[in-house]
Amino acid sequence: MKRASNLKKYGSLQYVSKSLKYAVLYTDRVNALPTVKQIKKLPFVKTAYLSPRVDLKVNYRESDSTETVED
């Protein structure tokens, strides 16, 4: 995992696990796709993918999603 420090130039390196051999990297959404393509080309990277957070629902307090019970 010595090479994980090389990932700092692609974004904000948040976490590095030496025992499980992975790293978490945050980058701008605008540059995300080109950054993933560049990171996949590195010889020490096995997989790189985007987080599905953009597609996940994060606001759970909407009025249309809650059911009201009338007596």
Residue 66 lies in a domain: no
Domain boundaries, position 21? 2-49
Give every CB contact of residue 52 below 8 A, 6+ residues apart in sequence. none
- Measured from the Cβ of residue 39, the count of other Cβ atoms closer than 10 Å reads 20
What are the pLDDT digits (tens) for 11-67?
899 999 988 888 999 898 888 999 999 999 999 889 998 888 878 888 878 655 555
pTM above 0.75, yes or no: no
Residue 34 lies in a domain: yes
Residues 38 and 10 sit within 8 Å (Cβ to Cβ): yes
Residue 62 lies in a domain: no
Residue 33 lies in a domain: yes
Residue 8 lies in a domain: yes
Residue 57 lies in a domain: no
Residue 60 lies in a domain: no
Domain count, the chain: 1
Question: Nearest Cα to 36, choosing from 49, 26, 51, 54?
Answer: 49
